[in-house]
Amino acid sequence: MLARMNGNKQEEFSSDPDEIISKGTVYERIRLALEELGPTFVKLGQTFSNREDLLPPELIQELQKLQDKVDTIEMNVEEILENEFNIQVKDHFYEIPKEPIATASIAQVYKAVLLNGNHVILKIKKPDVQTVIEDDLLLIKDLERLVSTYSEIGNKLNLKQAISTFEKSLLEEVSLINEKNNIQQFALNFKNNKETYIPKVYDEFSNNNVLCMEFIDGIKVTDTSVLLANGIDPVKVSEVGLRLFVSQILDYGFFHADPHAGNILVKRDGKVVFIDFGAVGKIQPNDKEILENLIVSFVAKNSHKIVRYLKKMAVSYEIPDERRFENDVEDILNFVHSSSLQEINVQVIINKMKDILKDNRLYMPDYFYLLFKGISLIEGVGRNINPDLDIVKSLHPYTKKIFTKKISPKNLLKTGMDRMMNFTDNVDEIPKELRSVLQKLDENKFTVSSEIKNIEKTNQLIKSSIVNLILAMILGANIIATAIVFVSESGPRIGEMSLVAVLGFVFSVLLTIILLLRITRK
């Protein structure tokens, strides 16, 4: 049996595959199958474990138990470095241990020492992992096409977009060049920030298969006893970590997508260090502005504007009841602003928000779900070392900053100019469109077309029903004719049976099979 913490409860689940196969639920068997299929499918399950808007709660619960089954493989690090960079290792490295300090599904991590005495981390991609992942992705896309073609569920859940998002994310994660670029982008964003430190990347020993970066001799963020022993206040660390994460989102639209405790260290001088930049979230400028407005509306407790900005941010939506949607948002606002600090659980709020999105069929952009995950993780880490951490309070300085930016003369001028340009463009188009309509009216070419939803399916159903009716009539007539011939003694015979009656019977059987197949095919 394995155990994990869920809130304040310890949850146990079976780790015995035979027991799961014989006694487990279908969702447990799905989890087991994904683990057996390998790292690509495990990551697929882990990705979908945050999509309560797509999958049933029981399956989500199982997917959250997914763990990479990773075995350390033997790698000749020196040979790899010499082949990748055309160097002699002894000319650059003082020491490279043979055993990795960490093993993941995509790469293994080694701690090494350069000739100048600097300690570095070598992240080396496993051989053939790129090919295996690309092959697995092709299989996953084939399965998605199969489900979407032969099942309405696939189209309803928008699986194509979800799989496309997963493919993009996984290919970015497996690319060490991409991770190197992410680190350098973070370093650029926070170059003047005195509360954080970004590890240095060694470009001369980094490519798509190898990443060489500075080793951080830091303290795990949740190790409060060590923090206190080094004169570091855990409460301040929690506030700084949360502030840095919010800054990543609202200042730069470029944030760490997996800020769990293992990916956050604290240096001896108190600076907070984020590591492992393989997965990041990216927010486009237009969406970043909408997100800012959404946060301001949340702090201002304006449910009407929250609904409006959620709709603007959504990729698509089919809201069955606008009033109910707004009331649901209002309930969350009342819960947050009426609860004491100790009662507020960000994960509960996020789950309520996900339920609202699901019930109102809002499909949000990819980064939105990464935000949910990131906020939940960083708040969990912060609460672990500081139970009084207030994530809502930490947003207030940013709402003031956003509001000040919006009422600045520069922003007002820019907004006014943009609206004027849009208005001018629309006015210019009106005469052209109007002339086109009047010309068609004058030439008697103006037509109005209407569309009835599902009319094509209805037509197919009618045609199919008519064909089935005709086949049934032919079958009935053939059975009667066969019976008449069977009792008569005329015509050629096989033994004591009429040859025509035998052929009629065979024809009836074939026609019955065809008719049954047509009826039960859908």
Q: Tens digit of pLDDT for each residue in 499-511?
A: 777 777 777 778 7
Tokens 């923090």 label which residue?
A: 227
Structure tokens at 243: 């502030």
Kindly report the number of other CB atoms within 10 A of residue 306's CB atom.
23
Mean of the pLDDT values across residues 21-30? 70
CB-based contact 213:120 (threshold 8 Å): yes
In order of 58, 143, 416, 451, the CA distances from 163 in angstroms are 21, 10, 40, 31
Q: Indicate the pLDDT class of residue 58, thresholds 50, 70 and 90.
A: confident
pLDDT at position 434: 63
Mean of the pLDDT values across residues 206-223? 92
Strand partners, 271: none
**Radius of gyration (C-alpha) of the chain in whole angstroms:** 32
pLDDT at position 450: 54
Highest mean pLDDT, choosing among 102-111, 360-369, 419-428: 102-111
3-state secondary structure of 360: coil
Q: Which of 274, 275, 261 is nearest to 223 (CA)?
A: 261
295: Cβ contacts below 8 Å, ≥ 6 apart = 250, 395, 398, 399, 402
Structure tokens at 383: 């609460």
Q: Which of 479, 477, 471 is nearest to 513 (CA)?
A: 471
CB-based contact 374:281 (threshold 8 Å): yes
Give the N- to C-terminal CA distance of the chain in Å, as an integer: 43
Burial of 236 (0-12, 13-18, 19+ CB in 10 A): middle
Characterize the bridge pairing of strands 280-282 and 254-256: antiparallel
pLDDT at position 179: 92
CB-based contact 97:110 (threshold 8 Å): yes
Mean of the pLDDT values across residues 345-358? 79
Burial of 443 (0-12, 13-18, 19+ CB in 10 A): exposed
Buried b (16+ CB within 10 A) or exposed e, 139-148: ebbeebeebb
Helix 129-150 to helix 159-174 angle (10° resolution) is 180
Q: Indicate the pLDDT class of residue 94, thresholds 50, 70 and 90.
A: very high
Q: Indicate the pLDDT class of residue 104, thresholds 50, 70 and 90.
A: confident
Q: Which of 190, 291, 319 is nearest to 245 (CA)?
A: 190
Structure tokens at 401: 């900053």
pTM greater than the 0.95 cutoff = no
CA distance 257 to 260: 9
Residue 92: is its pLDDT beyond 80? Answer: yes
Q: Tens digit of pLDDT for each residue in 376-400?
A: 888 888 888 888 777 766 667 777 7
Kindly tell me the sign of the dihedral angle through the C-alpha atoms of 245, 251, 398, 290: negative
pLDDT at position 67: 61
Residue bearing the bigger pLDDT, 148 or 24: 148
CA distance 216 to 124: 18
pLDDT at position 4: 40
Domain boundaries in the chain?
A: 1-68, 70-215, 221-404, 408-449, 455-520
In order of 259, 261, 393, 394, the CA distances from 271 in angstroms are 16, 15, 22, 19
3-state secondary structure 301-337: CCHHHHHHHHHHHCCEECCCCHHHHHHHHHHHHHHHH
The rounded Cα 108 to chain-centroid distance in angstroms is 25
CA distance 153 to 319: 18
Residue bearing the bigger pLDDT, 145 or 345: 145
Residue 119: is its pLDDT beyond 80? Answer: yes
Residue bearing the bigger pLDDT, 307 or 366: 307
Helices (H) and strands (E) in the chain, counts: 20, 16
